[in-house]
Structure 1
Amino acid sequence: MIISSRAVRSWRLALLIILSVLAVRWAIEALSDDPEIALEMGGTYEDMRSNSSASFSPLIRGHVWFGIPKTDARLRFIDPLYGFVTPLARFFTVAFNDNVIEDVRMSPQIEPLLIDDALKIVLGLQEQWRARGWVATGLCNNPTIADTPEWRAFLRKGIREGRSFWQAGDKYEAMLLLGRFEDYRNPTEERYLITLELSKPWMSFDAIEARYPCDEPHHFPAPQLN
């Protein structure tokens, strides 16, 4: 069968259009996907790099060291039971012992936020943890943060941060902080900073309750939910 030159040109044009459409689609999908650092506590640097879409600091062998993503990135915490995802973060550090991940400290935001936006992130993280089996601890002195008039007034004073502590069985511990932050770029606005730290447990539930007894008075107690 002989194919005319016109048919060949038409086929090539159709193929070019299809490839162009696919290229645009792939570019849009690539831009719409947030860069992420995907890691497992106790996992390796190499596994983190292979699972992540954001580039990261080079490995430093034989040392205790801290690495950072090379772009704003979200955290995807890998665990079949306790895994969760954060919003994009600009401050994001991972602590290593040689190539083994030991600790994560980050602020799951890319700038200081207004109280509505900050609370939305904090409550979203706490809801993810509850749904995945994490348990809040030390509640008498550090209740879970809530969006209530009492909590907003407590945070607005800027005297003490809101703090909540969470444990995932005997595998992980999380500390979540929310505090007022003086943002020089927005001096007339109330801005807030979130800090999240993740590690293997350093203290049991019982030890936390013993260390921070509920009957111990506090000058600036955090609001308790009824």
Structure 2
Amino acid sequence: MSLLVDMGWRRGLFALAVAVLLTWAVIEAQLEKEIALVIGEPWEDMRQRSSATIDLAVPGHTWFRIPRSDARLRFIDPQYAFVTPLARFFTVNFDDERVDGVRMSPQIEPLLLDDTLKVVLDLQDQWRQGGWTPKWVNDFPSFADTPEWRTQLRDVNKGGKAYWGAGDKYQAMLVVSRFRDNKRPTEERYLITLGLHKSRGAQ
């Protein structure tokens, strides 16, 4: 009898362990993935640090890779760090096995104007707090939630573009464009494009 009890206890413990592992696997699969990088670092450092899977760079070549899942960008420069929302379109450029830049849309679907402005203004707030500064503001003023900006963004022939600089190290370009979403043709939807690379002359 004691042997049967012991076997039953062991089976129960094993079943519990399996259930815990399966639950953990499901939770892990649902966690938001990220690409964590700083421009100029070795490609493999970025791959090992990031929770999203991205393929190897090609030695001696300049090209790009795409994460295998939706992922946010975590830019980890000690001074100029910032984080984006999850992105579906996300390319990371490499130049001879070093991270060379990013081009992405920090969203997983075309957004309504209110949501678009929320994303764009949050990025600008992070940059401002981190020491980034607007560039060429006479021609490319920073985004703002104003009637003038909303009218401009609603114009399919205009949209908006702003540039930000991180000292003499990095430059970011932020673009918002009206987008016809075939799934929701009666709604005003927008795409955001974020480009990030070294400033000209940066080492």
With normalisation by structure 2, the TM-score equals: 0.89
Misfit runs of 4+, over 4 Å: none
Q: Kindly provide the CA deviation profile for residues 130-151 of structure 1, in whole angstroms up to 9, marking residues without a partner as x.
A: 2222112222222211122221
**Counterpart in 2 of 1:121?**
119
5+ residue gaps, structure 2, are: none
Work out whether residues 43 and 56 of structure 2, in 8 Å CA contact, stay in contact via their aligned partners in 1: no
Task: Give the drift of 1:178.
Answer: 0.9
**Counterpart in 2 of 1:198?**
196
Pick aligned residue for 2:46 from 45, 48, 72: 48
2:85 alignment partner AA: P
1:12 alignment partner AA: R
Q: Which has the larger radius of gyration?
A: 1
Question: Residues of 2 paired with 1:161 and 1:75: CA distance?
Answer: 24
**Counterpart in 2 of 1:36?**
34
Pick aligned residue for 2:69 from 65, 71, 74: 71
Question: Residues of 2 paired with 1:144 and 1:191: CA distance?
Answer: 20
5+ residue gaps, structure 1, are: 205-226
**Counterpart in 2 of 1:171?**
169
Task: Give the drift of 1:91.
Answer: 1.2
Q: Number of paired residues? A: 202
SS at match of 1:29: helix
SS at match of 1:178: strand
Question: Residues of 1 paired with 2:58 and 2:76: CA distance?
Answer: 23
Question: Residues of 2 paired with 1:85 and 1:162: CA distance?
Answer: 21
Pick aligned residue for 2:99 from 94, 98, 101: 101
SS at match of 1:48: helix
Question: Residues of 1 paired with 2:114 and 2:25: CA distance?
Answer: 33
Q: Kindly provide the CA deviation profile for residues 1-23 of structure 1, in whole angstroms up to 9, marking residues without a partner as x.
A: xxx42552354255335424532
1:119 alignment partner AA: L
Percentage of matched positions with identical amino acids: 53
**Counterpart in 2 of 1:148?**
146
CA distance 1:120–1:203, change in 2 (3 Å): farther
Work out whether residues 91 and 104 of structure 2, in 8 Å CA contact, stay in contact via their aligned partners in 1: yes
Task: Give the drift of 1:161.
Answer: 2.3
1:164 alignment partner AA: A
With normalisation by structure 1, the TM-score equals: 0.81
Question: Residues of 1 paired with 2:145 and 2:4: CA distance?
Answer: 68
1:170 alignment partner AA: D
